[in-house]
Structure 1
Amino acid sequence: MDAYVRNIVLDCADARQLADFYTQLLGMRVIREDWMVIAKDEDSFPRLAFEEVEGYRPPLWPDLDRTYPQQMHICFGVDDSTAAGELALRLGATRLSEAGGSCPVFADPAGHPFCLCGPGE
């Protein structure tokens, strides 16, 4: 069996808004609009997809008392984590200052945590 990661799907309240955030942050483009999917091009994987959920609640991270923990976060490799972080903030991300580790951690406009890791981080 040959398997691969096809889509990473993020729940959200507004799929178009979150797709726009990630296309600008990652230099991707929308490849499907009926189910908001973005990628570098039609043949690249994995892709990011966005699914609107009624009553969406953003994850909490870090959630030290573990009452409402986030389930995952995505680490993106970037050439310059400082420049990428500045872009993320301009696009509407929030820096998660409580987060530790070697890579800066942010929350996207829907609250999903993600890291921007530069070379060697």
Structure 2
Amino acid sequence: MPLAKLGVVVLDCPDPLALATFYAAVVGGTPKADGDDWVSLEGHGGTPLAFQAAPGHVPPQWPEAARSQQFHLDLEVAQEELDAVEKEVLALGATALDAEDRERSFRVYADPAGHPFCLCAC
């Protein structure tokens, strides 16, 4: 029997509302602020996400051991929609980190706060 269950994935960032708005555009849902330093993403139907203000936030670098990514999000999209979704996340403010290999089933990006995430074909 597990000792606990996953409640929410929380991403530290300089601007919680801005990052929640980015992810709402990518995975759906509505940002809901709880003060200035916490925003939850509600109604998207996936694992709960929240965004917490972190003064002095230093984004991870991918791939670099000295500033390890520590974790990343895998976002599943239909294989035939991968190129179109890539264009949309880039327009929303994502940065391509490793998306050149078009034969691979995943592509790596950073969100506007610098957290790595992958678009994975399913």
Instruction: Work out whether residues 15 and 52 of structure 1, in 8 Å CA contact, stay in contact via their aligned partners in 2.
Output: yes
Amino acid at match of 1:117: C
CA 1:11/1:110 → structure 2, altered by over 3 Å: closer, same or farther?
same
TM-score normalised per structure 1: 0.83
The superposition leaves residues 25-62 of structure 1 with CA deviations (integer Å, 9 ceiling, x where unpaired) of 112222x3103011335xx4521100001111001111
Moved more, 16-25 or 99-108: 99-108
2: CA distance, partners of 1:25 / 1:45: 12
CA 1:53/1:86 → structure 2, altered by over 3 Å: closer, same or farther?
same
How much is the aligned-residue C-alpha RMSD, in angstroms?
Answer: 2.0
1: CA distance, partners of 2:5 / 2:18: 27
Deviation at 1:99, TM superposition (A): 8.2
Amino acid at match of 1:36: V
Amino acid at match of 1:107: A
Q: How many residues align?
A: 114
Instruction: Work out whether residues 12 and 50 of structure 1, in 8 Å CA contact, stay in contact via their aligned partners in 2.
Output: yes
CA 1:88/1:51 → structure 2, altered by over 3 Å: closer, same or farther?
same
* Runs of 4+, deviation exceeding 4 Å: 98-101
Task: Please name the residue that 1:108 is paired with.
Answer: 111
The reply on whether 1:36 has 2:35 as its aligned counterpart is: no
Structure with greater strand percent: 2
Q: Percent identity, aligned pairs only?
A: 40
Instruction: Work out whether residues 29 and 39 of structure 1, in 8 Å CA contact, stay in contact via their aligned partners in 2.
Output: yes
Structure with greater helix percent: 2
Deviation at 1:97, TM superposition (A): 2.8
TM-score normalised per structure 2: 0.82
2: CA distance, partners of 1:109 / 1:12: 9
Unaligned stretches of 5+ in structure 2?
none
